[in-house]
Amino acid sequence: MNKPASVPEQVDAVVVGAGFSGLYMLYRLRQIGLSVKAFDSAGDVGGTWYWNRYPGARCDIATPDYTYSFDPELEKEWTWSEKYATQPEILDYLRFVADRYGLRSDIEFSTAVTSARWDEHEKRWTVTTGHGEEIRCRYYIMATGCLSVPKSPDIEGAGRFAGPVYFTSRWPHEGVDFTGQRVAVIGTGSSGIQSIPLIARQASQLTVFQRTPNFSIPAHNGPAPADRLQQLDEDRDGYRHDARWSRIGVPSEPTDVLGVTASEAVRRERFEAAWQQGELVGIVSVFADQLLNPASNDIVAEMIRAKIRSIVKDPGTAETLCPKDHYFGTKRPCLDTGYFDTYNLPHVRLVDLRKQPIVSITEDGIETADESFGFDAIVYATGFDAMTGALVAADVTGRDSLSLKEKWAAGPSTYLGLMTAGFPNFFMLTGPGSPSVLSNMAVSIEQHVDWVAGCLKDMREEGLDTIEPTELAESGWNQHVQDCAAITLMPTANSWYMGANVPGKPRVFLPYIGGVDGYRQACDDVAGQGYLGFRMTGPGREQCRDGVIRRMQPDVAMVLELIATMDLPPMETLSADDARALMAATAATRPPGPEVGEVTDGVIPGPAGDLPYRLYRPAGSSEGPRPLVVYFHGGGWVLGNLDSDDPLCRDLCERSGAVIVSVNYRHAPEVRFPAAALDAFAAVQWADANAIELGGIPGQLSVAGWSAGANIAAVACQLARDAGGPHISGQMLICPVADSDMTRPSYQENGDGYILTTALMRWFWDHYADPADRRDPRAAPLRGDLQGLPPACIVAADFDPLRDEGVAYARALEDAGVPVRLTRARGHTHTSVTMVGVVISGAPVRAEIGEALRDFFPSVESRERVS
Ligand code: FAD
Ligand code: NAP
């Protein structure tokens, strides 16, 4: 094939796409001295802003923020006319940028890249275009956009309509005049919501087909926000720095106001301020917990619904426009200009596809289950195959002939959203697993491009020329991306973030929700740690520091950061009384834990006096007796009481369906070893003897405990076996102290920085037991005879100094023939699993604990299965 002179045989890098990402990538690659060729199937630069020319198309991030910031001179030379610029103005801006830096000479327009194939021998990519040209390159960079492949119409009869059909994402350059026409718009996402008011101005009849109503707030467009412009004028660098280290790429003060605890006045005031501001950054952060807590989310959602009802005059239409099937923010919220008012116009009609689904598009209109509509034109505002669509549309084939499409059949897998294993030297800009669409993309794009350019420069300086993530690093990042999403409400929606808008697309949360700031830090950390998780090679050398960049659960990390800001004294430097007071003070600010059926306090006759207990009866247990769980709180035998573990006990009660009897025991240093263990055994004996009075089922009794409480629970099992009873059905040991040997690796790895420290553990032991006693099985159950003990469930947390002794106890029990379930609390600390209502990621672990407790009592399961 003859190549146009403008397409060389070989370059250092090929960039696909000439939108915001591709243009800046081209600029940066040239800057570091690489030869580059870029391709775009569009006829000019602009990407999104080239294609999406529908009436009303604008940005929804204010223009002072939705702009390049890499060159202060460029910023001075361009002035935006509006707060939210129109598509033509943004396209003009990108053309201006292309011209200013002379970028066009390296871009081949109207040229689609159809395939790219890695040659392992040559360490080069061969890129093929739709015109049949081939070009070889060392680095292949897809700047192909998250929202660039329109979703194909998945509606019966879509090809049959005889009149004109328009896609918002492929709008005719010459525009469309709907004057006097009967127009249908299908879709009420951002594109529909922006275009509907303007189409309504021309059309003689406008019918909007809505499948899912969307949350939208007024954009209050006008001049660019004066406060932002002033901040930029005064300190441009500071402003841009704040944007780069903000949550969504727009400088803003994070709030700590919680929707669930704020007063009605504060709620209203914060909501109204956000409504008036007309910016996404405001409305998505009315409350700190609105994307985490359904109750808080509902406060914002209900206030938006009230606004919709106040704008739309027809109550039925208003109700149909009120989103009720997803939490606010779990689908991209919209900014609009007169959207809801449009439904007050006499010639505009809303059709609710949930009640009246489309049966088929016909030659002259649309047929629903109830009605036939005739139209002159149909507009599809039906969205995109987002985030992965463009990446898999081109046939990208990596090592061993594996295609990206095949690799991602069950969902995308990336390291940092930038690269994917098996595809050396292949970079994605704003790929799945990066903040991209959850952020001001101008900021995220610059960060990605800068990182890639910095990486290629570093490689060259080190004499390296190939780079690829390791499987370990990639799977660790994928896990982290999903962990971050899992603590939010995001995965609950059928959104394009979840791939749910495209039939057959795997349901995976696609972007990274850990924040622009958190993400930037992770990327910086990777580079700073010698490109952790990347394998890099060059002539005669290879470098690879394998590892996972974020292993901790995101909310656990947040709690640790918060605690660090409190500057608390290390507990082991305090007296026992002061440590108890500190623990009580922090406990007083916690959420209370779930409601249970009934809570009563009482006392148990212990070996040396009464022991207080608190009994938790699950809801509905008045209908009949339940199994009993005798629970012992944590606190290193020194701290803790019935209140300290109250939220956890409530949680376990509800999850297990058992009656929980939480027993306090004598504490050290006032009363030392073996008092706590003997109290625990006495409590078990008493509970067994009084099972009926406690609402329990005789013979169905388990023990449970956390930390030192798990230690004495385990010891109680050994004592009961030795004494010939009572019969214990199971032992639930959450992060147990199983041994007194503090030389296991977890004491080094997790010895500092995760609340329970090695120093504090030593302090606990010193208060509890003399060194000579610490090998006694009643202090270190791992050293006892383990034959014939009850089935166990042991929870071991990754970031716990006690992790390894918990695992060792599980293994030793197994070796002794005891059935054991070992639950790894991935990404958790010693304390985080127990932080009910604070650490959301602890809930799935506690769900497993609840399930294991139920399994100790098979009759409960079978009874509930029957009911
Ligand atoms: P794109 O702009 O999508 O450019 C990708 C380019 O790659 C396209 O031109 C495409 O033709 C080309 N391409 C793809 N595959 C191939 C191939 N195989 N061969 C050749 N060329 C190919 N984000 C915000 O942050 N704020 C906003 O206000 C905002 N508003 C938006 C409004 C609309 C209507 C849409 C659709 C998106 C909006 N976005 C917004 C997201 C927007 O996509 C990004 O802000 C940004 O423009 C993306 O730039 P990009 O260069 O990464 O991708
Ligand atoms: P979208 O948000 O995915 O909305 C598509 C709409 O079409 C939804 O209402 C969807 O309903 C509906 N739909 C899809 N298939 C349908 C079918 N078969 N039958 C009936 N209805 C169907 O797409 P978009 O509006 O183009 O926006 C995509 C993203 O681009 C936005 O979220 C935003 O990030 C960006 N964008 C930004 C702006 C801006 O304001 N700057 C403007 C446009 C786009 P369901 O919800 O039920 O699937």
Q: For the segment 320-363, what is each residue's pLDDT rounded down to a tens digit?
A: 999 999 999 999 999 999 999 999 999 999 999 999 999 999 99
CA of 44 to the centre of ligand 2 (A): 25
Report the atom number in ligand 1 closest to the C-alpha of 168: 34
**Gap between the Cα atoms of 130 and 854, Å rounded:** 61
Task: Decide: 41 in ligand 2 pocket, CB within 6 A.
Answer: no
Q: What is the pLDDT, as a whole number, of residue 866?
A: 34
| Burial classification of residue 50, based on how many CB atoms lie within 10 Å of its CB (0-12 exposed, 13-18 middle, 19 or more buried) | buried
Closest-CA residue, ligand 1 atom 52, reads 145
Q: Where are the alpha helices (DSSP H) in 47-152?
A: 48-51, 72-77, 87-100
Q: Work out the average pLDDT over 783-806.
A: 98
Rg (C-alpha) for the chain, rounded Å, is 31
Q: Which run of H or of E encompasses 458?
A: helix 441-462
User: In the structure, which protein residues have their CB atom closer than 6 angstroms to any atom of ligand 1?
Assistant: 16-22, 39-42, 47-48, 50, 52, 57, 59-61, 66, 112-113, 143-148, 191, 390, 394, 429-430, 440-441, 445
Please choose, from the candidates 833, 33, 75, the residue with its C-alpha nearest in 3D space to the C-alpha of residue 442: 75
Beta bridge partners of 10: 136
pLDDT(3) > 70: no
Q: Separation of 540 CA from ligand 1 center, angstroms?
A: 40
Q: What does the pLDDT read at residue 861? A: 45
Let me know: does 765 contact 839? Beta carbons within 8 Å: no
- Verify whether ligand 2 is closer than 6 Å to residue 730 (CB atom): no
CB atoms within 10 A of CB 232: 19
Beta partners for residue 365, in sequence order: 374
Vertex 401: Cα angle to 400 and 402 (nearest 5): 90
pTM for this prediction: 0.96
For residue 864, pLDDT over 60 is answered with no
- The SS3 assignment for 445 reads helix
Q: Check pLDDT > 60 for residue 478.
A: yes
pLDDT above 60 for 690: yes
Determine the Cα–Cα distance for residues 399 and 405; give it in Å rounded to an integer.
13
- Nearest-atom number in ligand 2 for the CA of 61 is 41
By most ligand atoms within 8 Å of CB, the mutation choice from 28, 441, 443, 510 for ligand 1 is 441
Ligand 1 atom with the smallest distance to the CA of 40 is 21
User: Among all ligands shown, which has an atom nearest to the Cα of 90?
Assistant: 1
Q: How confident is the model at residue 621 (pLDDT cuts 50, 70, 90)?
A: confident
Query: What is the predicted pLDDT for the residue at 8?
Result: 87
Q: Above 70 in pLDDT, residue 665?
A: yes
Report the C-alpha gap between 694 and 383 in whole angstroms. Answer: 59
E strands in 242-290:
none
Rounded CA-CA distance 642/363 in Å is: 72
Question: What pLDDT is stored for residue 620 in this prediction?
Answer: 85
Mutational pocket test of ligand 2: of 216, 360, 382, the residue with most ligand atoms within 8 Å of the beta carbon: 382
190 Cβ inside 6 Å of ligand 2 = yes
Give counts: helices (H), strands (E), the chain.
Answer: 27, 29
CA of 22 relative to ligand 1 center, distance in Å: 10
What's the mean pLDDT in 404-419? 98
State which ligand 1 atom lies nearest to the alpha carbon of 394.
Answer: 18
Ligand 2 centroid distance, CA of 182 (Å): 22
State which amino acid sits at residue 761: M
> Could you tell me whether strands 365-368 and 358-361 are parallel, antiparallel, or unpaired per DSSP bridges?
antiparallel
Identify whether 790 is preceded by a cis peptide bond (ω within 30 of 0): no
CA 448–ligand 1 middle distance (angstroms): 15
Q: 496 CA to middle of ligand 2, Å?
A: 8
CA 277 to chain centre: 27
Find where tokens 């696609």 sit.
Answer: 510
**Ligand 1: distance of its center to the CA of 17 in Å?**
9
Residue with the nearest Cα to atom 32 of ligand 1? 59
Q: How far is the CA of 70 from the centre of ligand 1 (A)?
A: 19
Evaluate: CB of 483 within 6 angstroms of ligand 2. Answer: no
Q: What is the band of 748 on the pLDDT scale with cuts at 50, 70, 90?
A: very high
- Residue 622's pLDDT band (cuts 50, 70, 90): confident
Residue 219 has pLDDT above 50, yes or no: yes
The length of the chain, given as a count of residues: 867
Helix (H, G, I), strand (E, B) or coil at 431: coil
**3-state SS class at 273:** helix
User: Residue 284's pLDDT band (boundaries 50, 70, 90)?
Assistant: very high
Ligand nearest to the CA of 91: 1
Residue whose token pair is 């959450």? 734
Q: Respond yes or no on whether the N-terminal peptide bond of residue 506 is cis (omega within 30° of 0).
A: no
- 384 CA → ligand 2 middle, Å: 7
Tell the burial category of 346 from Cβ atoms under 10 Å away from its Cβ (0-12, 13-18, 19+): exposed
SS3 content of the chain, % helix, strand, coil (to 5): 40, 20, 45
pLDDT value at residue 6: 77
Measured from the Cα of 60, ligand 2's closest atom is 41
pLDDT at 114 over 90: yes
| Residue (of 672, 758, 684) closest to 714 by Cα position | 684
pLDDT at 862: 44
> How many Å lie between the centroid of ligand 2 and the Cα of residue 316?
23
DSSP string, 747-788: HHHTSSSSSS-HHHHHHHHHHH--GGGTTSTTT-GGGS--TT
pLDDT at 867: 34
Ligand nearest to the CA of 429: 1
Q: How far is the CA of 151 from the centre of ligand 2 (A)?
A: 10
Ligand 1 centroid distance, CA of 474 (Å): 25
Q: Cβ(374)–Cβ(182) under 8 Å?
A: yes
